[in-house]
Amino acid sequence: METYISYLIVGFTIALPIGAMTVEMTKQGLKNGFIHGWAVGLGGMTIDAALIIALYFGLASFLALPFVQLPLWIVGAAFLFYLAYDSIKNADQGISLAGEKPNQSFWRTYKNGILVAVSPGNLVFWVSVFGAVLAKSYSVHEFGFAGLGILTGILLHDVGLLAIVSISRRAMSRKVIRNVSIVAGILLIGFALYFLYEFILGIRNLL
């Protein structure tokens, strides 16, 4: 339990900084409600869980290789540009105010979470965190509790964030939510440009 609690705090802490996942969750939470915002977070956690399993089975060194991470920077940038374009273009569409039935499917927002989570930044985090866990020669049991702790911490952050978003949504008009969607799109473009910069930087380092 000590391992679980320690890594729960780690998971909650690393989820606090505003990133592309937070932006997409907030946007979907405002436009379609708590469940749809949470679907984005669950999509991201699906990738996180897959990476934990991959790292346990010895893929940490492989995932740390530049030629593995480089393609993910450009793929991640492409996904974020797509989500940003969709967020801005359809800012005034698919908005369901508090009490109205959401227009977007749960699985579509879940897929958005998966797309946002596909990035080397995510890989680097898991490799560094679980590289340290593996270095301590934890048992399968302890490693499992470490992974579960981080995922629980992320889940607690997501639920807390979306609870605040859901309460704020009740006081927002359709116009305000549309404007938030546009701002979210602009922020996603910023993250996409950062991914693109990292890709170019990685290419230059290899040459």
| Ordered DSSP codes for 144-202 | HHHHHHHHHHHHHHHHHHHHHHHHHHTT--HHHHHHHHHHHHHHHHHHHHHHHHHHHHH
Sign of the alpha-carbon dihedral angle for 7, 60, 109, 23: positive
Tell me the Cα Rg of the chain: 18
Q: Which of 6-20, 77-91, 95-109, 122-136 has the lowest average pLDDT?
A: 122-136
- pLDDT confidence tier of residue 94, bands split at 50, 70 and 90: low
pLDDT in tens, 118-142: 776 677 767 666 666 655 545 667 7
Residue 129: the pLDDT is 66
Hey, what are 89's tokens?
């273009």
What mean pLDDT do residues 21-31 have?
87
**Could you tell me the CA-to-CA distances from 180 to 16, 113, 150, 156, 172 in Å, in that order?**
20, 18, 29, 24, 10
What mean pLDDT do residues 87-109 have?
74
